[in-house]
Amino acid sequence: MEGLRQVRLTLPTADMAGNPLAGVELVRVLHLPLGLTRPTPEEVFSRGEVVLERRRPDLPGPGDTLLMDLKSVQRPQGWIVLVAVRLGNVPGSPSEVLAWMDPGL
């Protein structure tokens, strides 16, 4: 996290099989409401709601840094992950799970 509503991430340079990545089509932010325990990245990815997407050509190249402003995400307390998606709608591994605080705080 970079501040309360910004996330800085480095886009991947390889796909899940380890092959060089020619580019990222989009980056998704997924949100899962607060539960009793901290979920795994895969749980947020599989059960979460897509709350923000940033698409090409507004993305840097593989290995470069992207700063995402999440001020428009109006969801209750919970968890978020970020996922880079390559051409063909093939998602990469979700990021670590980040806590999401109520925007009203």
> Distance between CA 105 and CA 102 in Å, rounded?
6
Q: What is the pLDDT of residue 1?
A: 47
Q: What is the pLDDT of residue 47?
A: 96
- Whether omega before 57 lies within 30 degrees of 0, making that bond cis, reads yes
| Rg of the chain on CA atoms, in Å | 14
The string of pLDDT tens digits covering residues 46-60 is 999 999 999 999 899
Quick check: 33 pLDDT over 70?
A: yes
Class of domain 6-100: mainly beta
Tell which residue, 3, 8, 12, 1, has the closest CA to residue 86. 12
- The pTM of the full predicted model, rounded to 2 decimals, is 0.86
Domains of the chain, by residue range, sit at 6-100
